[in-house]
A and B are shown apart, each in its own frame.
Chain A
Amino acid sequence: MTTVIPFGPQHPVLPEPVSLKLEIDNDVVVGALPSLGYVHRGLEKFIDTKDYNQTTYICERICGICSALHGITYTKAVEKLFDAEIPERAEYIRVIVGELNRLHSHLLWLGLFADGFGFESLFYECWKYREEVLDVAERITGNRVIHSISKVGGVSRDLTKENIDMLLKMCDSLEPKIKDIEKVFVNNYTVKQRLVGLATMSKQLAYEAGTAGPTLRGSGNAIDVRETADWDIYKDLGFKTAVAKEGDCYGRTKVRIDELYESIKLIRNAISKLPNGDIATPIKGFPTGEAIMRTEQPRGEVVYYVKGNGTKNLERLKVRTPTFANIPSLLLMLPGVRLADVPIVVLTIDPCISCTER
Chain B
Amino acid sequence: MLENTIEATEIKSSGELLKTIEGLKSDGYRYSTMICLKANEGHDFIYVFEKDNKLKNLRYFVKPGEKPKSVSGIYLCALLIENEYQDLFGLTFEGLAIDYKGHLYLTPNSPKAPLA
Chain A positions within 8 Å of B, measured between CB atoms, are 33, 36-37, 40, 42, 44-45, 80-81, 83, 207-211, 223, 225, 227-229, 288-292, 294, 301, 303, 305, 307, 309, 315-316, 318, 320, 324-325, 327-329, 331-332, 357
Q: Let me know if B77 and A209 touch, CB within 8 A.
A: yes
Interface 1/0 per residue, B79-116 and A, CB below 8 Å: 11100000010000000001000011111000000110
Chain B positions within 8 Å of A, measured between CB atoms, are 2-6, 25, 30-33, 35-37, 46, 48, 53, 55, 57, 75-77, 79-81, 88, 98, 103-107, 114-115
Tell me which residues across on chain A come within 8 A of B76, comparing CB atoms.
Answer: 209, 328, 331-332
Q: How far is the CB of A138 from chain B (nearest CB, A)?
A: 34
> Please, how many angstroms separate the alpha-carbon atoms of A28 and B33 in the complex?
32
Interface residues of A, dominant DSSP: mixed
> Please, how many angstroms separate the alpha-carbon atoms of A36 and B83 in the complex?
11
Q: Let me know if A290 and B79 touch, CB within 8 A.
A: no
Which B residue's beta carbon lies closest to that of A228? B53
Tell me which residues across on chain A come within 8 A of B48, comparing CB atoms.
Answer: 292, 303, 305, 320
Could you name 5 residue pairs across A and B whose Cβ atoms are closer than 8 Å? Answer: A37-B106, A208-B25, A290-B6, A318-B35, A320-B32
Q: Let me know if B105 and A44 touch, CB within 8 A.
A: no
Q: Let me know if B4 and A291 touch, CB within 8 A.
A: yes
Q: Let me know if A44 and B88 touch, CB within 8 A.
A: yes
> Please, how many angstroms separate the alpha-carbon atoms of A321 and B92 in the complex?
23
> Please, how many angstroms separate the alpha-carbon atoms of A289 and B94 in the complex?
31
Q: How far is the CB of A343 from chain B (nearest CB, A)?
A: 21
Q: How far is the CB of A239 from chain B (nearest CB, A)?
A: 13
Q: Let me know if A45 and B53 touch, CB within 8 A.
A: no
> Please, how many angstroms separate the alpha-carbon atoms of A211 and B76 in the complex?
11
Residue of A229, A288, A290 contacting most chain B CB atoms (<10 Å): A290
Q: How far is the CB of B33 from chain A (nearest CB, A)?
A: 4
Q: Let me know if B80 and A327 touch, CB within 8 A.
A: yes
> Please, how many angstroms separate the alpha-carbon atoms of A36 and B81 in the complex?
12
Tell me which residues across on chain A come within 8 A of B32, comparing CB atoms.
Answer: 210, 301, 303, 320, 325
Q: Let me know if B5 and A36 touch, CB within 8 A.
A: no
Q: Let me know if A307 and B75 touch, CB within 8 A.
A: no
In-complex Cβ contact of A80 among B4, B30, B79 (8 A): B4
Q: Let me know if B98 and A210 touch, CB within 8 A.
A: no
Tell me which residues across on chain A come within 8 A of B81, comparing CB atoms.
Answer: 320, 324
In-complex Cβ contact of A288 among B3, B80, B103, B106 (8 A): B3
Q: How far is the CB of B46 from chain A (nearest CB, A)?
A: 7
Q: How far is the CB of B8 from chain A (nearest CB, A)?
A: 9
Q: How far is the CB of A79 from chain B (nearest CB, A)?
A: 11
In-complex Cβ contact of A289 among B2, B105, B114 (8 A): B2
Q: How far is the CB of A319 from chain B (nearest CB, A)?
A: 9
Q: How far is the CB of B4 from chain A (nearest CB, A)?
A: 4
> Please, how many angstroms separate the alpha-carbon atoms of A318 and B43 in the complex?
14
Tell me which residues across on chain B come within 8 A of A229, comparing CB atoms.
Answer: 53
Tell me which residues across on chain B come within 8 A of A301, comparing CB atoms.
Answer: 32
> Please, how many angstroms separate the alpha-carbon atoms of A207 and B27 in the complex?
13
In-complex Cβ contact of A40 among B3, B53, B98, B105 (8 A): B105
In-complex Cβ contact of A316 among B37, B55, B77, B105 (8 A): B37
> In the complex where A327-B80, A328-B77 touch, is A292 in contact with B55 (Cβ < 8 A)?
yes
Q: How far is the CB of A324 from chain B (nearest CB, A)?
A: 6
